[in-house]
A and B are shown apart, each in its own frame.
Chain A
């Protein structure tokens, strides 16, 4: 039995809808841990309020934030997966159905960059990237709605044969520039190497990596710790009113490339919108965060 149009449409709708209502468990755990280590009282109050807000939205099955962002999806097609649909069209239909039926309705955030007109629809919307996975017998979809605060402060720079010091200094400077405009405490994703586009995708994907998992690459694991301590030492704190918790985690990945080395930095705000699903040929759907 193949993976059907209906399954893809359900996945497209549900992933977005769930991402708007539920803060992932690992992010909540990160906020709770920060409550214990935070030395500023204002910051502790904000962290506490964030946890309350998350809990309230979940209980009422309502949105955590009114900026529902624009939908971005990552689709990974396993080599053993059998698809009986026009994948791109199914995702588009799922999204169209979502904006018509979601309760509560979502605001019109999809913006035409040339006219600044806003609606629910537009060229290339939803934003989808496709990839393949060898040896897997499923299709995986990840949804990451990107809102103004969580999307606006990403940055990319190209270096030639940079030292680790240059790379890390750049990441710190991006964090300084973003300040607290992205609703901290955030998750920071960093991509190093590859090409311009590849590097940006690496950084973005790292914002979707669950918190609390040690990077298997020792050089990167050390870099992640160093950067986390460094960014938190900047003192912006939760929502920027000061404190020790500006990031919950810094996640880094790299790709080999030429000596021109892009470094990309991307953020996910404290509500860490991300949802995933794996779909098998037998119709099973396994939901995740």
Chain B
């Protein structure tokens, strides 16, 4: 089975998101939002509860779990030195509310999200895109420019950064908008195979032990 590839422009509508299936490959062009901060996610929840204004309007957009070294130059210019995904499962608690609350069509990072997040994605028409961990140079190369740094008082990788990217990818659809998650299927597969694998190891140990007592 060959892998399907898609080019997607942001912001994106629900119909274009629903075309994507778990396992497809996506390249993104347009503006994305990026942060790697747990406190940032808490704060974003505060925004949708009306405690403060969102740093950026993200409706129909992409919010990724990406850490970056970003700086504002003396002349006011913005720059990203490198960026790379962070572990999304740390935000399992926040994403089921942030997806509808911010109106996200795309989220992503590395490691996937929980079944509860996957349900929120199916309900609201959103996908999770998997980045390669340790792909800093590949992803940084797709940055066209930084168009905004939200919450600059936080440490670099906790800020919300708005970045214009060109063909950001390759990204794998880890969770699609139809409830299918590669993370759930691999985890279930692993649990299902556990007993057989243990039996196989037992058999191999028996052969090894038999071998060592033979003259």
Least Cβ–Cβ distance between B40 and chain A, in angstroms: 13
User: Inter-chain contact count A-B, CB under 8 Å?
Assistant: 161
Q: How far is the CA of A135 from the CA of B22 in the complex (A)?
A: 57
A233 close to B186 (CB less than 8 A)? no
| Residue interface bits A63-76, CB-to-B below 8 A is 1, else 0 | 11111000000000
B81 close to A64 (CB less than 8 A)? no
Least Cβ–Cβ distance between A178 and chain B, in angstroms: 10
List chain A residues, Cβ under 8 A from B198.
Answer: 169, 172, 230
| Residue interface bits A56-99, CB-to-B below 8 A is 1, else 0 | 11001011111100000000000000000000000000000000
Shortest Cβ distance from B68 into A: residue: A66
B172 close to A62 (CB less than 8 A)? no
In the complex with contacts A53-B137, A176-B190, A234-B190, A66-B3 CB distance below 8 A:
no
List chain A residues, Cβ under 8 A from B27.
Answer: none
Shortest Cβ distance from A108 into B: residue: B155
Q: Is B19 in contact with chain A by the CB < 8 A criterion?
A: no
Shortest Cβ distance from B207 into A: residue: A222
In the complex with contacts A56-B137, A64-B137, A45-B112 CB distance below 8 A:
no
B87 close to A181 (CB less than 8 A)? yes
Q: Which of B3, B183, B204 contacts A240 (CB 8 A)?
A: B183
B134 close to A269 (CB less than 8 A)? yes
B182 close to A240 (CB less than 8 A)? yes
A239 close to B133 (CB less than 8 A)? yes
In the complex with contacts A53-B138, A107-B69, A226-B170 CB distance below 8 A:
no
Q: How far is the CA of A229 from the CA of B133 in the complex (A)?
A: 24
B182 close to A233 (CB less than 8 A)? no
* Interface of chain B residues 32 through 65 with chain A (CB within 8 A): none
Q: Is B200 in contact with chain A by the CB < 8 A criterion?
A: yes
A105 close to B23 (CB less than 8 A)? no
A-B contacts besides A179-B186, A181-B87, A242-B185, 9 pairs, CB < 8 Å: A52-B138, A54-B134, A57-B136, A108-B156, A149-B133, A165-B205, A169-B198, A226-B204, A239-B130
Q: List, sorted by A's number, 28 A–B pairs whose CB atoms are closer than 8 Å.
A: A41-B1, A41-B3, A46-B132, A49-B138, A49-B170, A50-B134, A53-B135, A53-B136, A60-B137, A64-B134, A107-B155, A165-B201, A168-B201, A176-B191, A179-B187, A222-B204, A230-B200, A234-B189, A234-B194, A235-B193, A239-B110, A239-B133, A240-B183, A240-B186, A242-B182, A242-B186, A242-B189, A270-B134
Q: Which 4 residue pairs spanning A and B have beta carbons closest together?
A: A66-B84, A183-B133, A56-B137, A234-B190
Chain B residues within 8 Å of A, Cβ to Cβ: 1-3, 23, 25, 67-69, 81-84, 86-87, 89, 110-112, 130, 132-138, 141, 155-157, 170, 172, 174, 182-183, 185-187, 189-191, 193-194, 197-198, 200-202, 204-205, 208
